Amino acid sequence: MHIEKTTVNIGFNPLTDCASVVMAAMLGFDEKHGIRIVLSRETSWAGVRDKLMTGELDAAHALYGLVYGAQLGIGAQPRDMAVLMNLNRNGQAITLSRRLADSGAKDGATLAALMAREPRQYVFAQTFPTGTHAMWLYYWLAAHGIHPMTDVRAITLPPSQMVYNLAEGHMDGFCAGEPWGQQAVMEGVGVTAASSQQIWPDHPEKVLGASLDFVRAHPNTCRALIAAVLEAGRWIDASDENRRATAEIIAGVPYVNTEKAAILPRMLGRYGDGLGHAWQDEHPMRFHQEGQASYPWLSDGMWFMTQFRRWGLLKSDPDYFAVAQSVTQSRLYREAAEMAGVAVPADVLRSSTLVDGHVWDGTDPARYAAAFAIHQR
Amino acid sequence: MSRHLRIVLVHPPHESDASLRAAALQAGLVEAGYEIVASLPADLNLPEQIARLQPDMIIVDAESDARDVLEHIVVATRDERRPIVMFTEDEKQSSMDAAMEAGVSAYIVAGLKPERIKPVLSVAMARFRKEQKLLHELADTKHKLAERKVVDRAKGLLMSRHGMTEEQAYQRLRTMAMNKNLKLAEIAQRILDVEDLLG
């Protein structure tokens, strides 16, 4: 097999879920498949998107919603994008400030009660306007009767600035990837009101994203890359010992640049809300799950479009199925999974029940998008 | 056209090196005759400040994580766009042409030499205006096509219901529109709505 481009530039943002991309390079899974992954630490999601479009990056650890936002031209000119695979599920969190917790708000219901009791402007941050964290935050607020566009002020902040701004009292809460939820709890400035898996158990999170142009010109490079990252995800998920080693490495300065203690507990599924409640999570961050976590489900991609529609980022219904099919590189994934010996599910849609009881199975996206009482058109 | 172009500079919060760079850039811009309405730290008040100042252009450090805060502004002001110019020191960055070709909302330019600022901003602004014009034309064309579809459907309805020729159906629509002082597409839509209602 001729590999069109053997040196592959991969962007990542410093977050726990960049692990499989980093470990693919660290453990030599890239070389095993005939490529060399060159990692590039990025500081912003918009930068990742722009660099995928200009070709400065070949592929990147990216927010699921960012890829679809770029495809649909929300925030920039539309460009054909590609999802090569899902990188992980779960492992993000909604954090409320200590001050809010002291006033009685420690979960969605008590937050809604506090907001009704003490009206003022409440400020919540997410990490990117079309990103997963914006969608988790909006979904969670709405599930508790709080309109994310009118009842609160939603802002965008880089993940690494969340804890500082929460501590300074600049905002009331945020939704971001780990380790920032755990960091806020460790520093005593915030409490975990909900993990993202409480909003949607086994939700899709980051993807390996690329421009469609890159994928079309370099199919063999993409297959090798998917296979290498699949093997890394399988290795991380194989044991707690491997998770420990992974946490050790990604905590380092070139990657997440934080303490291992901020990363490891939640990678192992050990959660604490900062108010004395501790639990072993049934749906912690997963990189493999026998191939279930890495499979790019068409229904996962369509879900983000339904939420863009729900919140007025899309003014009309797109052809959900056609867009998801064009973005999702199912065939490449299938071939790469075979190379890596990873099982591929037979169906392209899956069914999930979210925190508000709505069932998402991907069969009627336009109807699903229109079914929410709280929305913005 | 650079006269009275109102510019907001955005610099990373708590970074002395970056603010030095921002200061150099600011001096260059003022020298080139631009009006700097504010130099703002990229913190969580940025969206409100931009909304208040309504600048013609925003200039920011591309490698800063403030980029995502700006993305928020871009998305929030989608119906009222303004160009955002990115400056970066990184010479291996894709060229400005490549960035513009890619259709990003930003123009990536290497180097901060004061004498280069003016032509770069002029091109960026011209490019942005041209793009906006094309987008408006596209929206306009789409709108006209949609209107024509509505008129065609209403004509078809009149033809099948009342056995009119196409010419007669069109004349009927036009007369109704003139009598009611409505646009052709509006009267056509009403006819279709009534049909929907009465089945």
Task: Give me the CATH number covering residue A227.
Answer: 3.40.190.10
Is residue A221 domain-shared with residue A79, that is, in the same domain? Answer: yes
Token representation of residue A360 = 């998402």
Is residue A112 domain-shared with residue A189, that is, in the same domain? Answer: yes
Using CB atoms, pick whichever of B13, B44, B104 lies closest to residue A50. B104
List average pLDDT for each run of 10 residues in chain A, which is 377 residues long. Answer: 95 97 97 97 90 92 97 88 98 98 97 97 95 98 97 91 92 97 97 98 98 98 98 98 96 94 96 96 97 98 98 95 98 97 96 97 97 94
- The answer to the question of residue A115 being in a domain is yes
Using CB atoms, pick whichever of B68, B70, B108 lies closest to residue A127. B68
What is the model's pLDDT at position B21?
A: 65
Is residue B151 domain-shared with residue B108, that is, in the same domain? Answer: no
- The answer to the question of residue A271 being in a domain is no
| CATH number reported for the structural domain that contains residue B14 in this entry | 3.40.50.2300
Measured between beta carbons, the chain B residues lying within 8 angstroms of A48 are none
What is the model's pLDDT at position A151?
A: 96
Is residue B83 domain-shared with residue B155, that is, in the same domain? Answer: no
Is residue B101 domain-shared with residue B148, that is, in the same domain? Answer: no
Is residue A102 domain-shared with residue A136, that is, in the same domain? Answer: yes
| Number of neighbouring beta carbons within 10 Å of residue B71 | 29
> CB distance B94–A155 less than 8 Å?
no
Q: Rounded CA gap, B81 and B75, in Å?
A: 9
Sequence-distant (6+) residues with CB within 8 A of B126 are B1
Report CA Rg, chain A.
19
Q: Is A127 on the interface with B (CB under 8 A)?
A: yes
Q: Is A97 helix (H, G, I), strand (E, B) or coil?
A: strand
> CB distance B104–A53 less than 8 Å?
yes
- The answer to the question of residue B1 being in a domain is no
> CB distance B71–A45 less than 8 Å?
yes
Measured between beta carbons, the chain B residues lying within 8 angstroms of A130 are 75
Is residue A155 domain-shared with residue A60, that is, in the same domain? Answer: no
For B81-94, what is the mean pLDDT? Answer: 62
**Of the residues A171, A198, A225, which one is the last residue of a structural domain?**
A198
Answer yes or no: is pLDDT of B129 > 50: yes
Q: What's the gap in Å between the CA of A25 and the closest CA on chain B? A: 23
- The answer to the question of residue B145 being in a domain is yes
Is residue B61 domain-shared with residue B156, that is, in the same domain? Answer: no
What is the model's pLDDT at position B20?
A: 64
Is residue A190 domain-shared with residue A110, that is, in the same domain? Answer: yes
> CB distance B102–A53 less than 8 Å?
yes
Which one of A63, A156, A314 would you mutate to disrupt binding with B, by most B Cβ within 10 Å of its Cβ?
A156
Is residue A123 domain-shared with residue A20, that is, in the same domain? Answer: no
Report CA-CA distances (Å) from A161 to A44, A157, A326, A371: 12, 7, 35, 35
Is residue A162 domain-shared with residue A119, that is, in the same domain? Answer: yes
User: What is the count of structural domains for chain B?
Assistant: 2
- The answer to the question of residue B130 being in a domain is no
∠ Cα B180 B183 B184 (to 5°): 100
Q: Is B47 on the interface with A (CB under 8 A)?
A: yes
Answer yes or no: is pLDDT of B97 > 50: no
Percent over 70 (pLDDT), chain B: 71
Answer yes or no: is pLDDT of B95 > 50: no
Is residue B16 domain-shared with residue B103, that is, in the same domain? Answer: yes
Q: Rounded CA gap, A244 and A263, in Å?
A: 9
User: What is the count of structural domains for chain A?
Assistant: 2
Q: Is B44 on the interface with A (CB under 8 A)?
A: yes
Q: Is B125 on the interface with A (CB under 8 A)?
A: no
What is the model's pLDDT at position B51?
A: 83
Helix runs in chain A, H state only? 19-26, 29-32, 45-54, 64-72, 98-102, 108-117, 132-143, 162-167, 180-186, 196-199, 212-217, 219-238, 240-250, 260-267, 298-310, 320-327, 330-340, 365-370
Is residue B172 domain-shared with residue B88, that is, in the same domain? Answer: no
Is residue A107 domain-shared with residue A68, that is, in the same domain? Answer: no
What is the model's pLDDT at position B114?
A: 62
Give Cα A99 to chain centroid, integer Å. 27
User: Bridge partners of B110?
Assistant: B88
Is residue A219 domain-shared with residue A322, that is, in the same domain? Answer: yes
What is the model's pLDDT at position B49?
A: 85
Answer yes or no: is pLDDT of B102 > 60: no
What is the model's pLDDT at position B64?
A: 64
- The answer to the question of residue B129 being in a domain is no
Is residue B107 domain-shared with residue B183, that is, in the same domain? Answer: no
Q: To the nearest whole number, what is the mean pLDDT of chain B?
A: 75
Is residue B172 domain-shared with residue B84, that is, in the same domain? Answer: no
Answer yes or no: is pLDDT of B108 > 50: no
Using CB atoms, pick whichever of A45, A55, A76 lies closest to residue B105. A76
Is residue B157 domain-shared with residue B102, that is, in the same domain? Answer: no
Long-range contacts of B97-101 (CB under 8 A, 24+ apart): B98/A54, B98/A55, B99/A50, B99/A54, B100/B127
In B82-111, the residues whose Cβ lies within 8 Å of chain A are: 93-94, 98-99, 102-106, 108
| CATH number reported for the structural domain that contains residue B145 in this entry | 1.10.10.10
For B126-149, what is the mean pLDDT? Answer: 82
Is residue A233 domain-shared with residue A340, that is, in the same domain? Answer: yes
Token representation of residue A59 = 């592929």
Q: What's the gap in Å between the CA of A105 and the closest CA on chain B? A: 23
Measured between beta carbons, the chain B residues lying within 8 angstroms of A50 are 99, 102, 104, 106, 108
Q: Is B138 on the interface with A (CB under 8 A)?
A: no
Of B155 and B67, the one with more pLDDT: B155
- The answer to the question of residue B131 being in a domain is no
Q: What's the gap in Å between the CA of A43 and the closest CA on chain B? A: 5
- The answer to the question of residue A363 being in a domain is no
- The answer to the question of residue B64 being in a domain is yes
| Number of neighbouring beta carbons within 10 Å of residue A276 | 7
Is residue A184 domain-shared with residue A125, that is, in the same domain? Answer: yes
Q: Is A122 helix (H, G, I), strand (E, B) or coil?
A: strand
Q: Which domain holds residue B178?
A: 138-198
Q: Which domain holds residue A52?
A: 7-90+205-258+285-347
Is residue B107 domain-shared with residue B162, that is, in the same domain? Answer: no
Is residue B98 domain-shared with residue B49, that is, in the same domain? Answer: yes
Task: State the distance between the two ends of chain A, measured CA to CA, in whole angstroms.
Answer: 49
Convert the pLDDT of each residue in B31-50 to its tens digit: 777 888 888 877 777 888 88
In this structure, are residues A187 and A167 in contact, taking their beta carbons and an 8 Å threshold?
yes
Answer yes or no: is pLDDT of B30 > 90: no
What is the model's pLDDT at position B85?
A: 75
pTM for this predicted structure:
0.82
Q: Is B67 helix (H, G, I), strand (E, B) or coil?
A: helix
Is residue B31 domain-shared with residue B102, that is, in the same domain? Answer: yes
- The answer to the question of residue B126 being in a domain is no
DSSP state of A298: H
Is residue A225 domain-shared with residue A298, that is, in the same domain? Answer: yes
Answer yes or no: is pLDDT of B16 > 60: no
Q: What's the gap in Å between the CA of A293 and the closest CA on chain B? A: 27
